[in-house]
Every structure is written in C-alpha cells, then in structure tokens.
Amino acid sequence: DRLDELTVDLDLAHVFHSWSAQGGGRTPFVLAGGLGTRVWDHSGTTFLDFSSQLVNLNIGHQHPAVVRAIVEQAGLLATVAPATANLTRGQAASRIVARAPDGFHKVFFTNGGADANENAIRLARLHTGRDKILSTYRSYHGNTGAAIVATGDWRRVPNEFARGHAHFFGPYLYRSDFWATTPEQECERALRHLERVIQSEGPSGIAAVLLETIPGTAGVLLPPPGYLPGVRALCDRYGILLILDEVMAGFGRTGSWLALDLYDVVPDLITFAKGVNSGYVPAGGVIIPDSIANDFDTTVFPGGLTYSGHPLAMAAIVATLDAMEAEGIVDNAARIGRDVLAPGLAELAERHPIIGEVRGVGVFWALELVADRATREPVGAGVMAKIKAGLLARGLLPFIAENRIHVVPPCVVTDAEAAEALAIYDEVLSLP
C-alpha cells in the first residue's frame, strides 16, 4: 500500500528512534489504526495486539468513552496552566487516590513514568533529608536523570550521570543469585542480601528503596510471598522510605487496581503512568500520603512541569477509570489470567521444551525461552528473531524482551482472542 510505503520512507528519513541504532537494515513496523485488542496497517493487514504497545494499553485501542472524553475536553479547554484549579484535574486525582491505600490523598501529575519516579525520588530525599536511592539490577524506571540511573538494566550504563544511586539483586528464583531452590529460600536470602547492602551503603544516608511492585520489562518477576513485606520491615528498621513503581503493573494489568493490592505491603510513595489512561494522552504521577504531602503545607515543593495535570490527559484518566469500573475490565484481566492464560500457557510449556518457565498474573505474563531446560541457558537472539517474525507473520504483535515473550494483551482481551493467541504461540514455538 502506498501509505504504508510513505510511512516507512518518512520514518527512515526523519524519525530518530528510542534505544536503537538508526542506520540501515531497520524495517519499521507500520500501524495505522486499532480497536480493542486489534491493530492494522494502511493496507488492512490486522494483528492481535499482545504487546499492549509498550504494556500501557490496558483498556485496549480506541475505547469510545475515552476518545469521546478527550474530544469533549479539547472542545472545552485544551490546555491549562498547572497552578490553576481545574475540575477535570481534580476529578482525575480523586479517582486515582480512591484506588490507593488509606492515607494517600494527593497526586502530583507528570508527563509519564520516568518523571513520576524522578519526583518520587525528589520527595523521598526532601522528606528524609537523605540522599541515596537503592533499586534493583533487574528494573526499568524510565529515561531521565535519576530514573535511568535507578534503572538496573543495560540502559543505565551509558547514562550514569546522576549521583546517589546503588543497586541490589531482587528475588528471581528461576535464575537465583542466591543459590536458592525454593521461594522461601529465595525470599529469605534476597532480604538478607538487601539488609547487607543497606548496612554497607550507610543506612543513615539512604532516602528510599525504589522497587517495581512486579518488575515488568525485566521479565514479570513476581516477588515471592513475604518479600515486599520484608522490604517494608527493613525500610522501617532503618528509617528508609519505600517507593513502589506501579507504572507498568498498576491500573489493571495484574487483575487488581494496583499490583500492591496482591501483596501485603503499603509503600510510602506510589508512582504510576501507562495504564492510568492507557497512554491515550501522556500522563503519570506520584500518589502521596498525608505524612509526606504535609511536609509541603508551608514549605515550597521545589518541582513542577508545564503540563502537570494536562486537561486532555486528565479527561482520559477520568474516562478510563470510569469505564474500567463500569465494564468490569480489571475483573476481566483477573479472570482471563486465572481461567485462560494460566492453564493455556502451562499447557504450552508441557508441549514445548523451549519454554523454561511460565510466570505471571492477570494479563501480565512471561514465557522464558531456553536452549536447554536442564541448564536454563537462554535461547539466542537468532531464535528470538525467528519467533518474532513467525508471530507477526501469523497476525500476532508480540512483546519480546531478551529471551522472553511477554504475554501482555489489553485487560479487555476476550476469551476468543486469548485462545487465538495461544494457538499462534503454539504453532510458532514449534518452529525453532
């Protein structure tokens, strides 16, 4: 199709892309439209979107109520200064705090997840008068000053210009850094390791431990029972704040409103973005409890953004959260996870020795692919490229990270779409 070709030509000529080499050999993937769990290019080739784009599209493509709310807000007031009081912004904030634990009553809005973490780190430093931030090696927290240095994965290394960060290993039983063979051992040893890192980094200088409630990009690493409460207890022992990053895991992805609802833990600060309005208009933020918000009753908060609480983003949040509630979309994610993806992916693992481990909850799953089940050696990039091409050729848009397929459809995915996707994964995993 002519428009698909034009899209590729313009992209190659003028668009500078994230996290990639820009030169030849790149073949951009074109999308022109979507609805629910389906997307298509200009020539009408359709795909099941089992990536939710960047795992942000919890409500699915083009939800009519969200699109309508954005259009209506654009007609009323398309932008407004952050210091102004605006009804849509207040409604968005009140709907967000309604899903947070007791005691959280304020939201500081940002443009996305990275600056949400940036401001949570700032709040933790100001609240404690301390400096250091501890986070895990297997994490992604965003691509700005402190957030990228808090990030653990390879993307931190060329960007280490912020100071005051140290890293530790979180629990990951399948590739245990602690020689553990049971979840109990992994939990106990990971907590012991964290305490040693806290002691070694100087507890009185540590402002916060920053964790993804469930590390997402790093592989949907569900923490073992007891780990997050154990981190909470360590933080309390040393006067350190706990920041939970719910950017990817929050607002429905796990089949609960927040991922922290699945664990017996209350953090000191919560960051969010992505699912809060499915990225229809960029937005993120920090949910702040009274105990920290009150610090700034008479003291100036030294932070701000022109588009903090942008009305189009706020309208999208209000409509998204209302539609998720009214249509039982979070429950659907839980049900699909429990009744369709859990058994379906387990069955795939029985049939395909290339699957080393299946883990997840709700619509947040990873298939870890291995060359050898005994040694757990990850499959190489060549195999993953072949799998990706195979999935696309059969009409499934996948989310691939390292040696993993992340099975991350929108929360609105139907039983039939999940079954269709399972059949495609099944066929493609037979190829290598």
Interface residues with ligand PLP (CB under 6 A) are 54, 112-114, 117, 140-142, 212, 216-217, 245, 247-248, 273, 284
Among residues 349, 430, 339, the alpha carbon closest in space to that of 391 is found at: 430
Minimum distance of ligand PLP from residue 56's CB (angstroms): 8
Checking DSSP bridges between strand 165-168 and strand 132-136, what pairing results, if any? Answer: parallel
Q: Closer CB to ligand PLP, residue 230 or residue 284?
A: 284
Amino acid at 308: S
Closest-by-Cβ residue to ligand PLP is: 113
Minimum distance of ligand PLP from residue 109's CB (angstroms): 13
Which residues on neighbouring strands pair with residue 370, listed in sequence order?
378
Tell me how many degrees the CA angle 208-212-214 measures, rounded to the nearest 5: 145
Q: Closer CB to ligand PLP, residue 48 or residue 247?
A: 247
Q: Closer CB to ligand PLP, residue 173 or residue 273?
A: 273
Q: Closer CB to ligand PLP, residue 190 or residue 220?
A: 220
Minimum distance of ligand PLP from residue 89's CB (angstroms): 19
Taking the C-alpha atoms of residue 120 and residue 98, their distance in angstroms, rounded to an integer, is: 19
Taking the C-alpha atoms of residue 3 and residue 6, their distance in angstroms, rounded to an integer, is: 5
How buried is 305 (Cβ within 10 angstroms: 0-12 exposed, 13-18 middle, 19+ buried)?
A: middle
Ramachandran bin of 202, using left for φ above 0, alpha for ψ from -120 to 50, beta for the remaining angles: left
Minimum distance of ligand PLP from residue 55's CB (angstroms): 7
Q: Closer CB to ligand PLP, residue 275 or residue 390?
A: 275
**Residue 382 CA to its chain's centroid (Å):** 26
SS3 306: coil
Q: Closer CB to ligand PLP, residue 222 or residue 424?
A: 222
Q: Closer CB to ligand PLP, residue 115 or residue 188?
A: 115
For every residue of 24-69, DSSP letters joined together read TT--PPP--EEEBTEEE-TT--EEEESSHHHHT-TT-BT-HHHHHH
